[in-house]
Chain A
Amino acid sequence: MSAVNVNVDVHHLTRVEGHGNIVIDVKNGELVKCEWQIVEAPRFFEAFLRGRPYSEASHITSRICGICSVGHATASLRATETALQVEVSEQTALLRKLLFHGEMIDSHVLHVYMLVAPDFFGAGSVLPLAATHPEVVMRALRIKKLSGDLCAMIAGRHTHPIAMAVGGFNHLPTIKELLAIRERLVAARDDMDETTALLKTLPWPQFERETEYVSLQKDDEYAFIDGHVATTDGFTYPLADYRKVTNEYMVPHSTAKWAKHNRDTYMVGALARFNNNYDQLHPRAKAAAEELGMKPIVTNSFLNSAAQAIEMVHCIEDSIRIIDELVDRGIEEEPLYQFEGKGGEGVGSCDVPRGILFHNYVIDDDGLIQGANCIIPTNQNHANIEADMRALLPQVLDQPQDKIRHTMEMLVRAYDPCISCSTHLLDVEFV
């Protein structure tokens, strides 16, 4: 790769959350710079939490992300419940899992169809895609409507899970509602099959780079809530030791903290869960994986989006199973937790759509939060994104600069990074 000059400077990459820049500078075939820069102002949710009653934490943190509000609320509740030694009932655990599946599908379908698919269809965004392939986008909206309604049934409304409380739910779905959603979940199998068929036709970029994959793991199920931390390098940790995994550090070109464990970088998200917990996927999800030619350990980061589609199949099937169990048991009103005047410290963890998430709270004997630490998945992926960029660059250096830029953008988008839940201020021009 001699006498090659490449200068890629993508400011505020499109179709990812928040503000991230790709900067690549190659002079005479020599790599001068290859950086994944984060230029967001840091968020201050930890400061928001200090001094607030424990019961508000899940409501505050569910605002960190409009897409992962259930994920944050659940991790927050688990941290609080661990700190206050609150046991949750079987019914609460089942309803939380079902709600979590709803959000997982909701987030994955947006990413796969609205953000990733346009790249493969040569469309700049989902808008032209909707014009040329309305049936593809309508399918996405159909799946999304189902997952949104599933969430609203349990969480109380479509936006922000108000029904979730420490120790349980203050609103419960009826058997009738559960059965109505069940019927739609069964009907959604066709859309899942179509999704797998669509993804199978997409020309996924060929790229392999081995890394360490980190996720939650449980003995008895494909883990999304609770469990222990597991990595493909063979490490396991109880949740309380999460800092031994994340080892956060600062880099000059990022306002976000980065993370590393056994290697220089690690990856979290759907692909990490797939690689760690493949055996526990529903048979239909495994069939989808086989259809897509995926078996662990998959080391092509682009296939994170395909792993998301496989997880959607799993979540649809597991939701049907959970509803059957709830209908068999019957839904019962349960007393809510009452604070007993004794604080404590606790770690809660969920594997949310973008990867493993940790909340860690210290609560005093008045029930006020004295300290909080939240480590979001995207921050754990930043170092791995940059390492992927460095590994991929030499392989594409002979291509036109525009193509290099586009491939790098696709790589970053595959991670579904959520740099910020930015505001969406409307800019209006009157006509």
Chain B
Amino acid sequence: MTASTPARPARRNGEGSSVVSPAPLQDTLILGLGNPMRGDDGIGVRVIEKLVVHALPQGVEAAEGGTKGLGLVNLMEGWRRVILVDAANVGLAPGEFARFTRQEARLLGDDRRLSVHNAGLREALLLAEVLELLPEEIVIYGVQPAKLDWHAQLSPEVEAAVPGLVRSILGELDASARAVSISSAHWNTLTKEQEEGNHGE
């Protein structure tokens, strides 16, 4: 290598870490990953199709992440929380899904097997982490696929999982929207709101 090795620049810490310019953080991005032409790999995109017709809480956006690979770093940037929906080998029966945070699971792979497409979520998260661009909170909904061949439909098992996934994600958004409104409310109404919230469950 003939290139000189420049000194590592000072890194910004915490909030506002950004590729372009520090912008105010938006709250929650729901990203559906995968290719709908590859059978159950389309589950993420399918869930987004269903979510966008709902009135999502303020500050929440649902978008297709497709097979962006490392490009996911750019898509996730600037969001406080990112909820990802993807086909995943989570050791369950086809159509069953697991919800986990980044700390709760290890995404397996080989760093040398990295390409634009083969770089998936795992690699994008690792890259974002190294560059300190990772959203504060990453939640992953991993759905066990039945079939991943070139096919434009989901398998019946995975299609059947869609309503449950949408419900879980909307529930999660509701819970946090309530938490936000509680924290910004007057202290003297806090207990009351919490009680109402609990009754509403």
Which residues of A come within 8 Å of B, CB atoms?
A: 12, 14-18, 41, 43-45, 48, 60, 63-64, 66-67, 69, 106-107, 110-111, 114-115, 120-122, 124-128, 130-135, 137-138, 141-142, 144-146, 148, 157-160, 184, 198, 201-203, 418, 420-431
Find out whether the CB atom of B3 lies under 8 angstroms from the CB atom of A201: yes
CB distance from B197 to the nearest CB of A (A): 30
List residues of chain A with CB within 8 A of the CB of B117: 17-18, 66-67, 418, 420-422, 424
B115 near A16: Cβ-Cβ < 8 Å: yes
**Complex contacts, B88 vs chain A, CB 8 Å:** 425-428
Minimum CB–CB distance from B56 to chain A (whole Å) comes to 16
CB–CB B33/A125 < 8 A: no
Tell me the smallest distance from the CB of B4 to a CB of chain A, in Å.
8
Kindly list chain A residues whose C-beta atoms are within 8 Å of the C-beta of B108: 427-429
Task: Determine whether the beta carbon of A121 is less than 8 Å from that of B115.
Answer: no
CB distance from B19 to the nearest CB of A (A): 5
User: Do A14 and B114 touch across chains, with their CB atoms under 8 A apart?
Assistant: yes
Contact of B89 among A114, A115, A160, A426 (CB under 8 A): A426
Cβ A145 vs Cβ B19 within 8 A: yes
Using A145-B20, A423-B87, A424-B67 as known contacts, say yes or no to A134 and B35 having CB atoms under 8 A apart: no
Q: Are A157 and B64 in contact (CB under 8 A)?
A: yes
Chain A nearest CB: distance from B40 CB in Å?
9
In the complex, are the beta carbons of A110 and B1 less than 8 A apart?
no
Taking each of A48, A133, A201, A428, which has the highest tally of chain B beta carbons within 10 Å of its own beta carbon? A428
Taking A14-B112, A67-B117 as contacts, is the C-beta distance between A134 and B100 under 8 angstroms?
Answer: no
User: When the two chains form their complex, are residues A159 and B68 in contact, meaning their CB atoms are under 8 A apart?
Assistant: yes
Q: A67-B116, A421-B117, A427-B89 are in contact. Are A124 and B68 (CB under 8 A)?
A: no
Q: Are B3 and A125 in contact (CB under 8 A)?
A: no
Question: Is B118 within 8 A of A137, CB to CB?
Answer: no
Q: How far is the CA of A171 from the CA of B126 in the complex (A)?
A: 35
* 14 sample A-B contacts, Cβ–Cβ < 8 Å, listed by A number: A41-B150, A43-B150, A63-B37, A66-B117, A67-B117, A110-B71, A114-B114, A121-B3, A134-B8, A135-B8, A421-B67, A422-B117, A427-B107, A428-B105
Q: Residue B14 at the A interface, CB < 8 A?
A: no
Q: How far is the CA of A145 from the CA of B60 in the complex (A)?
A: 21
CB distance from A17 to the nearest CB of B (A): 5
Q: Is the CB of A160 within 8 A of B64?
A: yes
Binary A-proximity of B148-169 (CB < 8 A = 1, otherwise 0): 1110100000000000000000
Within B1-32, the residues touching A (CB, 8 Å) are 1-6, 8-9, 11, 19-20
Asked whether, in the complex, the Cβ of B148 is within 8 Å of the Cβ of A423, the reply is: yes
Cβ contacts under 8 Å, A111 to chain B: 116
A148 near B20 (CB under 8 angstroms)? no
Q: Which residue of A lies closest to B6 (CB)?
A: A135
Within the complex, the shortest CB–CB distance from B161 to chain A, in Å, comes to 16
Chain A residues in 8 Å Cβ range of B11 = 134
Q: Which A residues are in CB contact (< 8 Å) with B73?
A: 141
Instruction: Give per-residue flags for B100-139: 1 if the beta carbon is below 8 A from chain A beta carbons, else 0.
Output: 1000111111011111111111110011001101000000
Q: Is the CB of B131 within 8 A of A130?
A: yes
Could you say which of A14, A421, A428 contacts B35, with CB atoms under 8 Å apart? A421
Instruction: List A contacts of B98 (CB < 8 A).
Output: 428, 430
Residues of chain B contacted by A426 (CB below 8 angstroms): 86-89, 107, 120-122, 140, 142
Are A126 and B131 within 8 A (Cβ)?
no
Smallest CB-CB A-B distances: 7 pairs: A424-B120, A66-B67, A159-B66, A426-B88, A427-B108, A201-B3, A130-B130
Q: Which of A45, A121, A134, A159 contacts B1 (CB 8 A)?
A: A121
Residues in B with CB closer than 8 Å to A421 are: 35, 67, 117
Does B75 belong to the interface (CB within 8 Å)?
yes
A44 contacts across to B, CB distance below 8 A? 150
Residue of B nearest to A203 (CB): B2
- Within 8 Å by CB of A114, from B1, B66, B70, lies B70
User: Are A425 and B113 within 8 A (Cβ)?
Assistant: no
Tell me, rounded to whole Å, the shortest Cβ–Cβ distance linking B96 to chain A. 13
> Is B65 on the interface with A (CB-CB < 8 A)?
yes
B130's closest neighbor in chain A, by CB? Answer: A130
Known: A120-B1, A125-B112. A428 touches B118 (CB 8 A): no
Shortest CB distance B17–A (Å): 10
Inter-subunit contact B116/A428 (CB<8 Å) = no
Cβ of B170 within 8 Å of any chain A Cβ, yes or no, is no
A47 CB, min distance to chain B CBs, angstroms: 9
